[in-house]
Amino acid sequence: MNTLQQLPILSIIAYIPLAGALIIMFLIPKEKTGAIKAFATAVAALDLAVSLPLWFSFDRAKAGYQFVERIPWIPSLGVDYHFGIDGITLLLILLTTFIGVIAIYSSFSAIAERQKEYYILLLLLQTFMIGTFCCLDFFLFYVFWEIMLVPMYFLIGVWGGQRRLYAAIKFFLYTLAGSVLMLLGIIALYFYNTTGFLGYKGLGHAATFSVPKLTAVAAAMPPELQVWLFFAFFFGFAIKVPMFPFHTWLPDAHTEAPTAGSVILAAVLLKMGTYGFVRFSLPMFPEAVKTPWVIGTMVFLAIVGIVYGAMVTLVQKDMKKLIAYSSVSHLGFVMLGIFALNMAGVQGGVLQMINHGISTGALFLLVGVVYERRHTRMIAEYGGLARQMPIYATYFLIMALSSMGLPLLNGFIGEFSILQGAFAKNFWWALFACTGIVLGAAYLLWLYQRVFFGELSNPANAKLPDLSFREQLTLAPLVVLALWIGLYPKPFFDVLRVPSENIVRSVGGATMTPPAYAGAPGTGIPAAGDLAPAAPVPAVR
């Protein structure tokens, strides 16, 4: 552990893919596609191998950031090169390195042209994603956050489907628009800490972009300024999540991106938004978050996202679009959990981020499998595949069940925890969100039925080969992970516990789950007359 603490392990994890990308760029000629593939996979696997020790040597009981690296970078502006992780980012980094291997390994047969550039971009993307999760300096964070768009833009725009240019540009501009507002927020914060701006008197501190420091500064700001800044950050994050009504870039980007792009987009990139809420919005602007109309708006948007996303999913004719819209619904659950502002909600929300990465990532992989064989994503083109591809059907069923939250698989753990947190806060939130569970079963089973059941009527499907060994190798780890989280989620909750407690405490929530209504004798909790709008119980706050 000590040796690991002394090494700049986070930088190593972050820059291994970059180094791999440079080596491919300069040392491997583009004709040697086999070597490029093998090398890219090896780099990603090495990255995963290097990141795994973090899981074992991470101190679960320690508050604050671990494996911290800090070097002054631009001293005159107070910019540091500052890396560090807590339990939340630990899981997200592991998810990123894990998905990174799978995304690269799954692209072997899907990508036929410009392979060199493709793998270089995938590796670059991985460096930027890990950097975004690791860094604890707003300046650096913004750099990573923005530069991440570039490889993704090219992945969609070059290797995408028919409307790839439209989708890529929409993706780029939409997210850029959001993050510009975030940049404004960061700058405002910076000046609030130093010289002041727009009539707000600055604190006159030394200039810094340090996340922990500015978080403390922001948390002490006057409430109305917090609300302004909360919404500045909100647009950046909400578009990335994406929350209703900022979600329309997602179906286009997902649908047009190549399989690996969709997988990374779903598994990691969307998590940037929810991660932003957990890491920045909640601890930085507690007064804003606690304002009833703000939290009401957030939860309203989350619940609308859940139900609306599910309803729209129900009528999709394109498999990838269907799964993309289901992401809107799932991330609505994540947002609901986060804004329940209690332990169960936040822990469940973060865990559901991981779960969504696993389940939806796997579903995109699975759609990619038949897309590679048939070059169509239209549901109507399929039917009766269960007979022809039983192993494929089995994998698909497992991941669909995981996505719809069936117990003993990962999705259930996250959804249960989120809904429990929401219920503890307000009965009606849980009631409306639960409809998402019913609709989730409906759209996934209907999809499954249309693709796998019925007669195998389309002759084009009559000779589809079942999953190859390599394809199974990309999917099996995801299934194992889904079962692990479903059967024994305790290790994950252990990792998340301390950071979640900090977050919940910072917004003044109770770290326990407060009973929504309890007239239990001897507890001193006032009996709520009925279940109606059960406000958070004051005694517990």
Is the Cβ of residue 68 or residue 510 nearer to another protein in the bound state?
510
Residues 56-95 that bind another protein (CB under 8 A): none
- Is 49 one of the binding residues for another protein (CB under 8 A)? no
Helices (H) and strands (E) in the chain, counts: 24, 4
| Number of amino acids touching another protein (CB under 8 A) | 97
Which candidate, 362, 412, 358, places its Cα nearest to that of 392? 362
CB of 404 to another protein, least distance (A): 8
Residues 364-403 that bind another protein (CB under 8 A): 372-373, 384, 386-388, 390-391, 394, 401
CB of 275 to another protein, least distance (A): 21
Q: Are the CB atoms for 350 and 264 separated by under 8 Å?
A: no
CB neighbour burial string for 388-410, b if at least 16 within 10 angstroms, e if fewer: bbeebbebbebbbbbbbbbeebb
The span from the CA of 453 to the CA of 464, in Å, is 15
Is the Cβ of residue 190 or residue 339 nearer to another protein in the bound state?
339
CB of 453 to another protein, least distance (A): 4
Residues 422-461 that bind another protein (CB under 8 A): 423-424, 427, 430-431, 434-435, 437-439, 441-442, 445-446, 449, 452-456, 460
Which one among 174, 190, 209, 382 touches another protein, defined by CB under 8 A? 174
- Is 466 one of the binding residues for another protein (CB under 8 A)? yes
- Is 468 one of the binding residues for another protein (CB under 8 A)? yes
Cis peptide upstream of residue 242 (ω within 30 degrees of 0): yes
CB of 504 to another protein, least distance (A): 9
Residue type, 281: S
CB of 79 to another protein, least distance (A): 32
- Is 105 one of the binding residues for another protein (CB under 8 A)? no
Residue that is written with structure tokens 């919940």 in the block: 504
CB neighbour burial string for 100-113, b if at least 16 within 10 angstroms, e if fewer: bbbbbbbbbebbee
Show the site string, 347-366: x = touches another protein by CB under 8 A, - = not.
x-------------------
Q: Are the CB atoms for 136 and 83 separated by under 8 Å?
A: yes
Which candidate, 374, 361, 319, 322, places its Cα nearest to that of 110? 374
Which one among 196, 245, 526, 533 touches another protein, defined by CB under 8 A? 245
- Is 163 one of the binding residues for another protein (CB under 8 A)? no
Q: Are the CB atoms for 66 and 85 separated by under 8 Å?
A: yes
Render 213-235 in DSSP notation, one character per residue. HHHHHHHTS-HHHHHHHHHHHHH
Where do runs of H (alpha helix) occur along 343-468?
A: 343-374, 385-388, 390-403, 410-425, 427-452
Residues 3-32 that bind another protein (CB under 8 A): none
- Is 419 one of the binding residues for another protein (CB under 8 A)? yes
Is the Cβ of residue 268 or residue 496 nearer to another protein in the bound state?
496
Residues 481-510 that bind another protein (CB under 8 A): 488-490, 493-494, 497, 501, 510
- Rounded alpha-carbon distances, angstroms, from residue 530 to 182, 522, 533: 41, 19, 8
Is the Cβ of residue 191 or residue 416 nearer to another protein in the bound state?
416
CB of 420 to another protein, least distance (A): 5
